[in-house]
Amino acid sequence: MNEVVHHEIEPKLKILFLCTGNSCRSQMAEGFARALKGDIIRPYSAGINPKGLDSLAVRVMAEIGINISRQKSKSILEVTSIPFDAVVTLCDHAKENCPNYPAKCQKIHRSFEDPALWTEQRMTEDEALVRYRRVRDEIKDFVLTLPDVLKD
């Protein structure tokens, strides 16, 4: 008679990516975590002052085959009831304004340049896309270090 062995399935790590507007950097991080680490991470994103999904962020993610167009820009207040394992702030403003989470929730900070400032810096859209792609690739490299970087 064959014995049936039941393996306990480890729950996915709940990770919140937080930035100011939840329009670009945190959306990219959520998309990468879902696409590259979805077997071990349940990603979320939110913002201190959400302002909608950035169309150029959607565009540069689509260039590499990741569709974030259905993700929604949300306030940190919409996710405070979720028991996160980690909160990753992706900009200095979010780090300074991140709400307090229970002690067991690990907090880490990785600051990435805000590519959405291109209009203020009088760049052309093509110049902005170069910046968006660079930030996208930096965020991808960071997400690839998860969850190992959480153990530091």
Q: What is the pLDDT of residues 21-33, one digit of tens each?
A: 999 999 999 999 9
H-run or E-run covering 97: helix 92-97
Residue 141 is assigned to a structural domain of this protein: yes
Please tell me the total count of domains within the chain.
1
pLDDT (average), residues 40-44 = 97
Residue 152 is assigned to a structural domain of this protein: no
Residue 5 is assigned to a structural domain of this protein: no
| pTM as predicted | 0.89
Give the DSSP letter of residue 19.
Answer: E
> What per-residue confidence (pLDDT) applies to 98?
74
What is the span of the domain harbouring residue 58?
A: 13-146
Residue 80 is assigned to a structural domain of this protein: yes
Residue 36 is assigned to a structural domain of this protein: yes
* Residues classed as catalytic: 19, 91, 98
Residue 3 is assigned to a structural domain of this protein: no
pLDDT digits (tens, 9 = 90+) for 97-133: 777 766 678 999 999 999 988 777 788 999 999 999 9
Closest by alpha carbon to 72, among 95, 45, 33? 45
How far is Cα of residue 74 from the mean position of the Cα atoms in its chain? 12
How far apart CA 152 and CA 136 sit, in angstroms, is 23
Domain with 28 in it: what CATH number?
3.40.50.2300
